[in-house]
């Protein structure tokens, strides 16, 4: 199978103009086919504050009410997405920005949980044909973390999960490497120490680290997504620093998630 890189950049990179610029330069040099999935960043919070939209939190988690959905749609699908597309275009990458609603790319349903998270989507399906169409035309999909339910409702969706879902769907047709890139060097044994990066994380090792509470809580959803991808047939998942993308791609940096 042909290799395909699916690279997700986290919100802290999106927030930092210099870091984003640097990342996009190295991303632009990655060979086709490739897909970029971006997170949200703090701009949505700043816009909400400026507009006087109160951010509701329940048990430490943000609730996406109607006004917040409006703001994240503006910021993620509008500002962040189109700026990345414009910058990649200027570097001869034929980028095309999409949400899950565009061409019905990613269908989701409103999360059903004890806590009502509001307009938050859990992914149901990925339109593999559409992604294939773009990739076969040498386009570079740039995916914003917004999906839809097929009934006219947009939904705020976790970007890590979107990257995992796309990787899983395309893993049947490509030899997919899924890279979660962010501001840290990888999965750290000591969250204060960038040099404590774990080179290889297996399910058993992950389980034992979780039991010893040695995994930083914020990493758990990302790692659960990473293992879900591997479980579903994605060839490789790497977590590491967006500033060293070429090294991550070659497995020379970051944490590689693998079996055995």
Contact residues for a copy of itself, defined by CB under 8 A: 47, 50-52, 70, 73-79, 81-83, 85-87, 89-90, 94-99, 101-104, 133, 137, 139, 146, 148, 150-154
Q: Considering the complex, state which of residue 143 and residue 223 has its C-beta at the smaller distance from a copy of itself.
A: 143
Q: How far is the CB of 24 from a copy of itself (least distance, A)?
A: 9
Q: How far is CA 21 from CA 16, 80, 259, in A?
A: 9, 12, 34
Q: Which residue has the tokens 């949400």?
A: 99
The dihedral formed by the CA atoms of 22, 23, 28 and 31, expressed in degrees to the nearest 10? 130
User: What is the smallest separation between the CB atom of 135 and a copy of itself, expressed in angstroms?
Assistant: 13
Minimum distance of a copy of itself from residue 151's CB (angstroms): 5
Cis before residue 112, ω within 30 degrees of 0? no
Q: With contact defined as beta carbons under 8 Å apart, do 140 and 84 qualify?
A: no
| Closer Cβ to a copy of itself, 102 or 160, answer by number | 102
For a copy of itself, the closer of residues 38 and 236 by Cβ is 38
The residues, ordered by sequence, that sit 6+ positions from 159 with a Cβ below 8 Å of its Cβ are 8, 10, 37, 38, 39, 40, 145
Nearest residue (CB) to a copy of itself, 169 versus 219: 169
Nearest CB to a copy of itself, comparing residues 78 and 203: 78
Sign of CA dihedral 194, 196, 200, 205: negative
Six token digits for residue 6: 């699916």
Question: For residues 106 and 234, which CB has a smaller minimum distance to a copy of itself in the complex?
Answer: 106
Closest distance to a copy of itself from the beta carbon of 204 (Å):
42
- The distance of closest approach from Cβ of residue 201 to a copy of itself in the complex, given in angstroms and rounded to an integer, is 36
CB of 18 to a copy of itself, least distance (A): 15
User: What is the C-alpha to C-alpha distance for residues 163 and 239, in angstroms, rounded to an integer?
Assistant: 13
């Amino acid at each position: 199978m042909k290799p395909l890189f699916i690279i997700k950049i986290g919100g802290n990179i999106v927030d930092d103009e210099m870091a984003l610029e640097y990342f996009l330069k190295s991303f632009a040099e990655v060979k086709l086919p490739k897909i970029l999935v971006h997170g949200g960043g703090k701009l949505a919070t700043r816009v909400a504050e400026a507009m006087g939209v109160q951010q509701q939190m329940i048990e430490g988690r943000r609730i996406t009410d109607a006004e917040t959905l409006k703001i994240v749609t503006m910021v993620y699908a509008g500002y962040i997405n189109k700026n990345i597309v414009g910058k990649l275009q200027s570097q001869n990458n034929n980028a095309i920005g999409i949400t899950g609603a565009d061409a019905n790319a990613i269908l989701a349903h409103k999360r059903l949980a004890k806590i009502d998270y509001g307009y938050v989507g859990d992914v149901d399906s990925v339109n593999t044909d559409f992604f294939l169409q773009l990739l076969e035309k040498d386009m570079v999909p740039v995916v914003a973390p917004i999906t839809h339910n097929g009934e006219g409702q947009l939904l705020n969706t976790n970007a890590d999960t979107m990257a995992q879902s796309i990787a899983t769907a395309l893993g049947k047709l490509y030899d997919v490497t899924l890279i979660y890139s962010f501001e840290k060097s990888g999965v750290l044994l000591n969250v204060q120490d960038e040099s404590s990066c774990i080179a290889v994380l297996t399910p058993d090792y992950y389980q034992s680290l979780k039991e010893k509470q040695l995994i930083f809580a914020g990493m758990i959803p990302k790692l659960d997504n990473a293992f879900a991808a591997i479980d579903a047939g994605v060839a490789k998942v790497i977590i590491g620093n967006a500033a060293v993308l070429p090294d991550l791609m070659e497995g020379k940096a970051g944490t590689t998630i693998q079996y055995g």
